[in-house]
Chains A and B, each alone.
Chain A
């Protein structure tokens, strides 16, 4: 299915990626081409087929619910663009 400019704007909003108006047309065309191409999957009958969840047949391991790591505030914050008093700093969220 082809997507239109409004759909692209909506997806971009969901993905939190700013798309400038002049990029919208190219992007709409490219995404439409890719979506049309993947739609050939419709030719394949998948009635009653289980969607794959894990490619390797294995049982996930259980572990004890115990703290194994911690007290690493400095490590956690070391790459933050901005931090203060042990917190991440972000632009204003509420008025």
Chain B
């Protein structure tokens, strides 16, 4: 029998429902897997005792006939979600020792659905990064290796610990957050499924804020079905987040009918960027052919303002970050620099010691574009461009039901390869940022291997709040791709 940490979330659920395993057994196997995966540095905090206690409670609920949709399922939680009484760092030194006295809405929803917490997953500092190298707690390793090369690779970011843990079979699934691609790009780099729902689908309450008009939580899993199941438990209206929408959460698993006949799939010509590696172009064509074979109709579309998405994003996101991160001042929680004689000095030293290089860079850019005299030229200009980018998508969705594109412009790169070149690092999100600015849902599905044996993902973008069609097409893509490759490192082997 396949080991319990190597099955999918849906398979684990079915075994639990049939009484063929218990949450305690399943969780114990995962606690061991988390421990064996330590070389990847995917977790900042492991919570094995809490995991077993939650698993016992879960088995007791099940015995009473009170099983929820994720009853007994052990998960990794990105360390950007506040978890009551459990260290929450956001990958930053400035939240040193912070144990929230409250629980984020999304994690509370997961526990209410019966899930079990294995620990808090590593991430780029304040979710700012595309390689998980900006974490105060050190870089995360991708469990994959290039063929014939043992050089450690990045898992992507910012949800790199979540991606690495799920890919290495140390967790059945994990939560991620996506601001400009932080779920989809690491999913592509590690050969797993990552879904960013529509902005407003999941509550942001209790998630450490980066860019509030963009941040959105979503599932990272080893199958599209798993993503559907987990999203159903995460999503929903929350009176504590005024941007969470009050509309019913559908049964996403039911959307996986396998039938996409007659659906129109947009192929945006602007995504054929100069210098795109041939293997990614070929994989994209393969994806088009797969969906066509399944009865969908590919349609060439234009998203004319695509090229301006990244620069607009790198004004809007830092502007919001500079404002959100103003709260870290050494007064109410986290780090305080020692020995400052007066208050202003204490603020400045605390923030200098507490923030890493990339976070400082973005806070300074954000402060600049919001400052008197530059606000219109930068920040307002970027918000106008964002309106145009959202219009591009609206126009496109008059013609098509979903959009198919590569998730990232490359496979995983080596740790250290891009750290000194911020703009090259930003370009990783060239295919994910436009959808983020438009607020639309997207899923990355592993579709094939690069020439040197690394996973590559394709993404499906959909209409706002039409996660069902995105999942349905993602499921068909997953079946056609039949991605069975395994990373070099699998926990517990």
Contacts and interface: CB of A to CB of B under 8 A. Distances in A.
B396 to A, nearest CB: 16
Given A41-B381, A56-B245, A11 B439 contact: no
Nearest to B381: A41
A80 B333 contact: yes
A15 B367 contact: yes
Determine the interface band of chain A, counting residues with CB < 8 A from chain B: 35 or more
Given A52-B387, A75-B101, A90 B361 contact: no
Nearest to B352: A18
B174 interface: no
Interface in A6-21: 7-8, 11-12, 14-20
Contact of B242 (A8, A55, A60, A80): A60
A71 interface: no
A3 B322 CA distance: 18
Nearest to A38: B311
Contact of A56 (B243, B312, B344): B243
Nearest to A7: B368
Interface string B322-352: 1000100111111110001111111111011
A44 B385 contact: yes
Contacts of B239: 61, 63
B464 interface: yes
A19 B351 CA distance: 10
B343 A92 contact: yes
A50 B423 contact: no
B483 interface: no
A54 interface: yes
A58 to B, nearest CB: 6
The interface residues of chain B, by DSSP majority, are classed as helix
B387 A50 contact: yes
A51 B99 contact: no
Nearest to A47: B384
A37 B326 CA distance: 25
B108 interface: no
A31 B368 contact: yes
Name, among A63, A80, A88, the residue most crowded by chain B CB atoms within 10 Å (CB to CB).
Answer: A80
Nearest to A26: B357
Given A46-B385, A55-B438, A34 B242 contact: no
B355 interface: yes
B450 interface: no
B416 interface: no
A51 B383 contact: yes
Contacts of A14: 367, 371
Interface string A71-88: 010011011111000001
Given A79-B97, A81-B330, A93-B342, A51 B387 contact: yes
Nearest to A17: B351
B230 to A, nearest CB: 22
B388 A82 contact: no
A51 B378 CA distance: 11
6 contacts: A18-B352, A34-B361, A55-B199, A78-B99, A80-B332, A88-B331
Given A27-B364, A37-B314, A55-B439, 4 more contacts: A31-B364, A41-B311, A52-B383, A52-B384
